[in-house]
C-alpha cells in the first residue's frame, strides 16, 4: 500500500508537470512583477482572475487529455486545440481582432472556441470525434472570416493562422484514431 501511495505522489511531480504548471504560474505573476517597474502594465484584479481562469483551465484540460489517451498524436492534438482556443480568446479580449476589444464584431471569434468545446464534449473526447470537432471548428473559423469580410473587415491573415492550427489538431486526432 505504501508503495502505491508513494508512486502516486511521485507521479504528481514529473518534470513535464512541474514545467507546465510552473510556466502557467510564471505567466500569471509576470504582469504583477512588471507593474512594479513600469506604468505601461496596469492589470486589475479582474485581469489576474481572467488570466488564472484561462491558463488554469487550459492546464487542467490538458491534464485530463493526458490521462484520457496515451497517444502522442492525441496529446498533440489536444495541446494544439487548447492553445489555439486560449490564444484566440486572449487576443480577442486584450486588443480585439476587428477594431479594438470593445467592437461587438469580435464576439464572432468568441464562438469558435465554444464550438470546439461543445464538439469535443459531444464526441466524448474520443479521437475520431475530436478530429471531426476540430474540422468543424476550422470551418467555423472560415465562416466567421466570410461574415466579417461581408461587413468590410479583412481578417484572412489572422484566420489562416488559426485555420492551420484547427486543421493540424484535427489531423493529429485523426492519426490517433487510426493508430488505436
Q: Spell 36-61 as b/e; 16+ CB within 10 A means b.
A: eeeeeeebeeeeeebbeebbeebbeb
Residue-level pLDDT at 8:
52
Residue pLDDT tens, the chain, 180 long: 444 444 455 567 889 889 999 999 999 999 999 999 999 999 999 999 999 999 999 999 999 998 888 899 999 999 999 999 999 999 998 899 998 888 899 999 999 999 999 999 999 999 999 999 999 999 999 999 999 999 999 999 999 999 999 999 999 999 999 998
- In a domain, residue 169? The reply is yes
33 with 109, same domain: the answer is: no
107 with 129, same domain: the answer is: yes
- In a domain, residue 59? The reply is yes
- In a domain, residue 48? The reply is no
What is the pTM assigned to this prediction?
0.87
Residue-level pLDDT at 100:
84
Residue-level pLDDT at 115:
96
83 with 154, same domain: the answer is: yes
175 with 110, same domain: the answer is: yes
User: Which structural domain range is residue 22 located in?
Assistant: 1-43
Number of domains observed in the structure of the chain? 2
68 with 32, same domain: the answer is: no
Residue-level pLDDT at 11:
67
- In a domain, residue 61? The reply is yes
Amino acid at each position: 500500500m505504501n508503495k502505491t501511495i508513494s508512486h502516486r505522489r511521485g507521479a504528481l511531480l514529473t518534470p513535464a508537470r512541474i514545467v507546465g504548471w510552473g510556466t502557467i504560474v510564471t505567466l500569471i505573476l509576470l504582469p504583477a512583477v512588471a507593474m512594479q517597474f513600469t506604468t505601461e502594465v496596469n492589470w486589475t484584479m479582474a485581469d489576474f482572475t481572467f488570466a488564472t481562469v484561462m491558463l488554469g483551465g487550459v492546464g487542467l484540460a490538458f491534464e485530463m487529455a493526458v490521462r484520457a489517451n496515451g497517444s502522442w498524436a492525441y496529446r498533440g492534438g489536444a495541446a494544439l486545440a487548447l492553445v489555439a482556443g486560449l490564444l484566440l480568446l486572449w487576443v480577442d479580449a486584450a486588443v480585439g481582432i476587428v477594431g479594438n476589444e470593445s467592437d461587438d464584431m469580435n464576439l464572432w471569434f468568441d464562438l469558435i472556441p465554444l464550438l470546439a468545446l461543445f464538439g469535443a464534449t459531444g464526441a466524448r473526447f474520443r479521437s475520431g470525434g475530436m478530429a471531426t470537432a476540430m474540422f468543424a471548428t476550422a470551418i467555423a473559423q472560415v465562416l466567421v472570416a466570410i461574415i466579417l469580410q461581408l461587413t468590410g473587415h479583412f481578417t484572412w491573415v489572422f484566420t489562416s493562422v488559426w485555420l492551420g492550427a484547427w486543421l493540424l489538431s484535427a489531423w493529429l486526432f485523426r492519426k490517433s484514431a487510426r493508430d488505436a
